[in-house]
Structure 1
């Protein structure tokens, strides 16, 4: 790949990747398990295949935008050769948690444990993306005053466009009438959101929803492509990552708030799911203490 297809910014304070934009013409970048300490947006403009992310597998088509959070495990297995464009950005460069009011992509585009990690890109959105990407490329090549701020503005446009589109697609699927199963699943999502800090077992949720654990497990696997235990674990880990990044709470405090009395048990649980310890996560993803 020629260097003209790769555009990179390095954080001068620590030498880490801040922002990277590149075109790809095969799957060599993503054909092995990724666990990166930055956000990734991968726009597949040609080809199709399977994405393995967290505990699930999903099929993706041409013109899909894949979105992954720091240390979210993923890899692509292609059936038709892929081409596209990837954007990597570190939370120190732009943190979706800290700018949730500006760019409502947390829980929609990223960190949505209940939906596949991709958005189908319409031609209208593709036009916006192409325009924004061209602006990003020219901005990276000219190290002018306020280069970071300008790049962040273009990144915001990209994220907002993608988030709106994904939200529309999610609303569209909700409006399709179905049996009582999706109703139970919506209740399950609500129950997890309300109780994941105190209730960690699949049996807890089956009892709350008055359904047998076996039936609920089957529903979860069919609709979310994940076991109920995996769904709960993912939700806990997302909250732990958020706390590690946004607050200066100790690992012990975070563990306690998430319902774990044993800090060491929690650290093992976190490492099993994130592949790094809570402390390493905080050190490599950064620390963006929320402003009061």
Structure 2
């Protein structure tokens, strides 16, 4: 892909990538494990394959929008050549946590441990995306006043469109006969959301739901495509990342709030799952945004 089609903004204060539009005509950007310090939205307009993300693998088709958070591990393995465009943005450029009420994409597009990390794009959404991307390309070349604010406005439209679409598709899936997830699954999700800060083992949840650990493990693997232990770990890491980014709390304080008395054990757990230490995550992604 010709580099002149790539549009990049660098944060002058940190030297880090702030915002980037990356058209791609093959899989060379994503055929190896990615662990980036920014958010990625990858719109695959042609081709198909599978995405390996965190602890699971999922198949994707053309016209899928894949969404990944900072330091979320992922790679694409294609069965048909892919084309499309990627949007990368650093949390310093636009923080989805701080603006959750505006765009509602955390827990839907990003940071949803229970769903595949993509949404199927409709013709209507495709038209919106194309229009927004054209505006972004024009704006990123315009160094006039308020360029940043204008780009953020277009990014919001993109995120809101994608989040609404994913919510709509999740609702439709629930209403289709025979695709209904077992009742125990919703109970498991609720149990993890309510208890992940204090209960870290798969056995805890089996006891809580009055089901054998083996049966619960099978349900988790069948429906989430990942083990229950991985599911719990992923949920803890998402919360830890949020706290590291959003607050000035020390790593020790965050560890304690997530049920870990030993800060060093927690740091090792974080590094094993995020492939980066809590300190380095904070240095490269940012922190203390709510303290201003």
The TM-score with structure 1 as length reference comes to 0.98
Q: 1:93-128 CA deviation, whole Å, 9 max, x = no partner?
A: 001011001110000000000000000000000000
Tell me whether 173-182 or 75-84 shows the greater mean CA deviation.
173-182
Instruction: Please name the residue that 2:34 is paired with.
Output: 34
- For the 8 Å contact 1:92–1:288, the answer to whether it is kept is no
Instruction: Please name the residue that 2:172 is paired with.
Output: 172
- For the 8 Å contact 1:37–1:70, the answer to whether it is kept is yes
Instruction: Please name the residue that 1:206 is paired with.
Output: 206
2: distance between equivalents of 1:182 and 1:134?
43
- For the 8 Å contact 1:7–1:137, the answer to whether it is kept is yes
- Structure 1 residue runs of 4+, over 4 Å off? 177-181
Instruction: Please name the residue that 2:134 is paired with.
Output: 134
Deviation at 1:5, TM superposition (A): 1.2
Q: 1:251-271 CA deviation, whole Å, 9 max, x = no partner?
A: 000000000000000000000
Local SS of the residue matching 2:50: strand
Deviation at 1:179, TM superposition (A): 8.6
2: distance between equivalents of 1:238 and 1:160?
21
Q: 1:39 to 1:179 in 2, by over 3 A?
A: closer
1: distance between equivalents of 2:235 and 2:162?
22
- For the 8 Å contact 1:109–1:166, the answer to whether it is kept is yes
Deviation at 1:242, TM superposition (A): 0.2
The answer for unaligned runs of 5 or more in structure 1 is none
Instruction: Please name the residue that 1:195 is paired with.
Output: 195
1: distance between equivalents of 2:179 and 2:78?
34
Deviation at 1:25, TM superposition (A): 0.2
1: distance between equivalents of 2:15 and 2:149?
19
2: distance between equivalents of 1:284 and 1:58?
29
Q: 1:7-53 CA deviation, whole Å, 9 max, x = no partner?
A: 00000111110000011000000000000000000000000000000
Instruction: Please name the residue that 2:283 is paired with.
Output: 283
Instruction: Please name the residue that 1:95 is paired with.
Output: 95
Deviation at 1:225, TM superposition (A): 0.1
Pairwise CA RMSD: 1.2
Local SS of the residue matching 2:290: coil
Deviation at 1:291, TM superposition (A): 5.4
Q: How many residues align?
A: 292
The TM-score with structure 2 as length reference comes to 0.98
Local SS of the residue matching 2:78: strand
Q: 1:197-226 CA deviation, whole Å, 9 max, x = no partner?
A: 000000000011111000000000000000
Instruction: Please name the residue that 2:270 is paired with.
Output: 270
